[in-house]
């Protein structure tokens, strides 16, 4: 069964930031700056955690996983925003 996760990160170094971004991009949808929405099986979550753990510096960086529950059977995804409107982007995002 897949769960939906928000993967949020704060990375102190630009090179590691790009590596984390590229890794997360392989597992989910880029929502905003350092936030991805990922529908993951338990094994995929372990793979993502393992890949990110090898990239980050554990004493300088932080990656948060927020469990939003089962990906199936929970109705439509609802994202609201304050300020600029939320727009789902299917276009690639580039980090320089």
Domains detected in the chain: 3-70 (3.30.70.240)
pLDDT digits (tens, 9 = 90+) for 72-87: 876 666 666 555 666 6
Residue 19: alpha-carbon gap to chain centroid = 13
The DSSP secondary structure of 44-76, one letter per residue, reads HHHHHHHHHHHHS-TTT-EEEEEEEEESSSS-S
Q: So what's the pLDDT on residue 72?
A: 83
Give 96's pLDDT tier (boundaries 50, 70, 90): very low
pLDDT digits (tens, 9 = 90+) for 43-72: 999 999 999 999 999 999 999 998 888 988
Residue 92 has pLDDT above 60, yes or no: no
Terminal-to-terminal C-alpha distance of the chain: 35
Q: In which element (H, E) is residue 6 found?
A: strand 3-10
Q: What are the phi and psi torsion angles at 41 (to 5°)?
A: -75, 165
Residue 7 has pLDDT above 80, yes or no: yes
């Amino acid at each position: 069964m897949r769960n939906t996760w928000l993967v949020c990160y704060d990375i102190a170094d630009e090179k590691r930031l790009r590596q984390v971004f590229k890794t997360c991009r392989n597992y989910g949808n880029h929502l905003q700056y350092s936030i991805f929405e990922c529908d993951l099986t338990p094994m995929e979550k372990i793979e993502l955690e393992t890949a990110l753990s090898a990239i980050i510096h554990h004493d300088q960086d932080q990656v948060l996983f927020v469990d939003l529950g089962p990906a199936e059977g929970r109705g439509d995804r609802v994202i609201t925003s304050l300020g600029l409107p939320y727009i789902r982007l299917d276009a690639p995002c580039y980090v320089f």
